[in-house]
Chain A
């Protein structure tokens, strides 16, 4: 990613003769060895072994497993449930990326002003981020109680928006957006903080000289703030994309993929295949596809957003 968001304190005092001498005298390999050993042991080795079972029909328990070649991947192409899950994964991710980033930006702009409550508001908006996702899921499951006199429905009614009351998690057409909303509620503060760091880096003088030139708030945002926020936007989009694509805990704890298959995503499908259906081989095939998916999407996004940054 691009090097930008660094608080002033973190900026190294750059001596003049920096160029060309970045690497210096290299430390010995031994420095990387302990990390490499642990990483290989905990991530690389198990993932490779796990990926191997994508080509078998292993149930997840017992000794019986046969090599089945690409059969699991062929099955995936014809699996309505997995295809529906891919669609849901994309919808959920798109909703999270757009709304969370947008809301994060608005919140950041709102608290990056002279309003008196700005510090406490930052704390409030960010607080959900430090709470365990599984507990957030419990909380929202309670809030989404479909009874007209409970939770969110009661609150809507109390402020005169009774017409908006819904069966939040039970209506197959709404459930996925309810899940997305919970995630956005939890993470919007995170996006806000990243944008805030970007805003801190926008020089005040630019705004002042623009004001002297008679530029309005909107014009100043468009021509000064927005271009300079490009790196923060890149980070926000990348983080929320990966988060959305691999979202798991909140879905399992709130809807378990239901009603029907309405909130099943690649993560929940591969979990169910492994632990509920006893199809471990197939499950790892889905996991591999998910990994490639995440890699491809991140790569494309990064390439695009970076070109946008340099253009700006």
Chain B
């Protein structure tokens, strides 16, 4: 069944490709829109742009200040994901290996964070970040994402570590290594598959988050890509071509990264979901 290409397989291929074409229709509509001038948009909404105009892209890139937004998004995403990997794996290692009611309760306490609606603590957290003097800063966002995404990260790591045998570390500890050394040299390398998942799931979430950076970074000059694009779209709402160009430009970096790393991204999304 997995080896032969039969007439039935061909029919299936046609069906699947047709599905993909339908799936891509919104993308087609958006991309062609970005290449059209207002007159073409009004009269030929679905045809291919003829002739294509690229003027919208330059305007959109400039007006939405996307270059600095990309930098802001990258900085915040990379730092938050690093912090999550370090804090999450260390905590999960403890939670998975320490027996007893207390550590189990702590594990449950972390899990509670997965179902808490963010709106519940939104205002007190905002006050807190303000009191810490971190509003409008990268640090504030990094702290926020690290805290918000820790429950899920701890959950993924703990499940994985529980499935690892304890013997490796025990052997290292008997050899005189400290717990930290054993973790860094023995355990952490074993966690590579799940670390990939943690990295990808968190990076996609943080990169795409809109509401929090709007609240915490609005007006600071450190806005991330979705915030800049949202403001841009609101400002030029009636100029569809320009808006479409802005959306295409904003989605392009992450789509490119995805295309290059697609095997790892897709695997990352699926492989960690266990526990």
Residues of A whose CB lies within 8 Å of any CB of B are 1-7, 9-10, 12, 14-15, 17-18, 21-29, 31-32, 34-36, 38-39, 41-51, 53, 60, 107, 110-111, 113-117, 121-127, 129-135, 138-140, 142-143, 149-152, 154-155, 158, 185, 190, 193-194, 196-197, 204, 207-208, 211, 235, 239, 242, 246, 248-249, 267, 270-271, 274, 280, 283-284, 287-288, 290-291, 294-295, 298
Contact = CB atoms under 8 A, between A and B. Distances in A.
A39 B121 contact: no
A101 B16 CA distance: 17
A242 B115 contact: yes
Contacts of B50: none
B258 A130 contact: yes
Contacts of A152: 25
Contacts of B110: 35, 39
Interface of B: 1-5, 9, 12-13, 15-17, 19-20, 23-27, 29-30, 33, 45-46, 87-88, 90-91, 93-95, 97-99, 103, 106, 109-110, 113-117, 119-125, 128, 143-144, 146-148, 150-151, 154, 159-160, 162-167, 169-170, 173, 179, 183, 190, 193-194, 204, 207-211, 225-226, 229-230, 233, 240, 243-244, 247, 250-251, 254-255, 258-259, 262, 265-267, 269-271, 273-275
13 contacts: A12-B190, A25-B173, A28-B94, A32-B91, A32-B94, A42-B144, A42-B150, A46-B128, A49-B121, A110-B15, A133-B208, A142-B30, A196-B270
Contacts of B194: 10
A45 B128 contact: yes
Contact of B150 (A35, A122, A298): A35
Contacts of A49: 121, 124
A291 B165 contact: no
A134 B270 contact: no
B247 A138 contact: yes
A291 B46 contact: no
Given A26-B94, A38-B150, A114-B5, 12 more contacts: A31-B90, A31-B91, A39-B113, A107-B19, A115-B16, A116-B13, A117-B13, A125-B20, A126-B269, A139-B27, A151-B45, A284-B119
Given A46-B125, A291-B116, A15 B20 contact: no
Contacts of B116: 43, 47, 291
Residue among A42, A149, A235 having the largest count of chain B Cβ atoms under 10 Å: A42
A193 B269 contact: yes
A53 B90 CA distance: 34
Contacts of A133: 208, 210
B100 to A, nearest CB: 9
B255 A130 contact: yes
A194 B270 contact: yes
Nearest to B83: A38
A130 B254 contact: yes
Contacts of B170: 21, 24-25
A110 B8 CA distance: 12
Contacts of B259: 123
Given A50-B120, A114-B2, A193-B266, A10 B211 contact: no
Interface centre among A47, A130, A133 (most CB of B within 10 A): A130
Given A46-B124, A46-B128, A132 B25 contact: no
Nearest to B119: A287
B148 A45 contact: no
A135 B226 contact: yes
Contact of A295 (B115, B122, B167, B270): B115
A27 to B, nearest CB: 5
Given A134-B230, A139-B26, A50 B13 contact: no
Nearest to B45: A150
A274 B119 contact: yes
Contact of B274 (A2, A60, A111, A131): A2
Contacts of A283: 119
B115 A284 contact: no
A36 B106 contact: yes
B9 A39 contact: no
B94 A27 contact: yes
Contacts of B270: 5, 193-194, 196-197
B9 to A, nearest CB: 6
A22 B164 CA distance: 8
Contacts of A158: 46
B105 to A, nearest CB: 12
A23 B148 CA distance: 28
A140 B251 contact: no
Contacts of A34: 87, 90-91
Nearest to B87: A35
Contacts of A24: 97, 166-167, 169-170
B262 A123 contact: yes
A6 B274 contact: yes
A56 B197 CA distance: 41
Contacts of A291: 115-117, 120
Contacts of B123: 46, 50, 53, 60, 274, 280
B98 A23 contact: yes
B20 A142 contact: no
A46 B122 contact: yes
